[in-house]
Amino acid sequence: MTDWLLALVPQYGLWLLAATTFLSCLALPFPASILMLTAGGFAAAGDMVLWQAFAAAATGGIAGDQLGYFAGRGLGAGFLARLRSDPARDRLLARADALMDRHGLVAVFLTRWLFSPLGPWVNLIAGSTGYGWLRFTCAGVAGEMVWAGLYVGTGYALAGNIAAASQALGSALGMIGGAGAVLALGYWLFGNPHGVARTSQHRNSG
């Protein structure tokens, strides 16, 4: 399907890009990241306008987030319970639920681009739990702009070399995720004395 979609980019361009990011934010298997890299490459070649490609990608993602949020709000916890009947979806929903419970606004922002596989599930959980729409939207818009900027911009910078762009972005996002994990661990160790005390007590009792 990816090759078929890529072949349609020159013909349908911005509409295809927006539709793909929209559908990917609903947990549908569309290669939004690859299409954004490709659109950036077309912009580098002068076949698309860079800011329009960025705007189309971000707008599609924002619209998908909103639909997911209001689907969660309208269908509620019963719908999520039915989704959890599938073990793979249950694991994703459990991770998304834990992120929302601990981090809220930051979770919405980061799952647009850094932990994007969790994004559609965070949308549903945010809606079903009554998380504030304005906070969700502000964090979601910011995150989608980062997502679109990273992928369209990298495709533009590397002139459409999708393999090189994917490798560069994968390495960069991996480093960011690793740094974030180190910071989170540091906060837990040094900014959470109760957690450290519990750990020490547990070791002493062993």
In order, the DSSP letters of 80-134 are: HHHHTTSHHHHHHHHHHHHHHHHHTHHHHHHHHHTSGGGHHHHHHHHHHTT--HH
pTM value is 0.78
- In terms of pLDDT, which residue wins out, 113 or 7? 113
Tell me if 127 is assigned to some domain: yes
Tell me if 182 is assigned to some domain: no
Tell me if 15 is assigned to some domain: yes
User: What is the reported pLDDT for 183?
Assistant: 43
Q: Residue 81: which domain range?
A: 2-162
Tell me if 181 is assigned to some domain: no
User: What confidence category does residue 191 fall into, taking pLDDT thresholds of 50, 70 and 90?
Assistant: low
What average pLDDT does the chain have? 81
Tell me if 189 is assigned to some domain: no
User: What is the reported pLDDT for 120?
Assistant: 92
Tell me if 69 is assigned to some domain: yes
Q: Span 141-165, mean pLDDT?
A: 85
Task: Give percent helix, percent strand, percent coil of the chain, each to the nearest 5.
Answer: 85, 0, 15
Among all chains, which residue has been given the structure tokens 């661990």?
185
DSSP state of 31: -
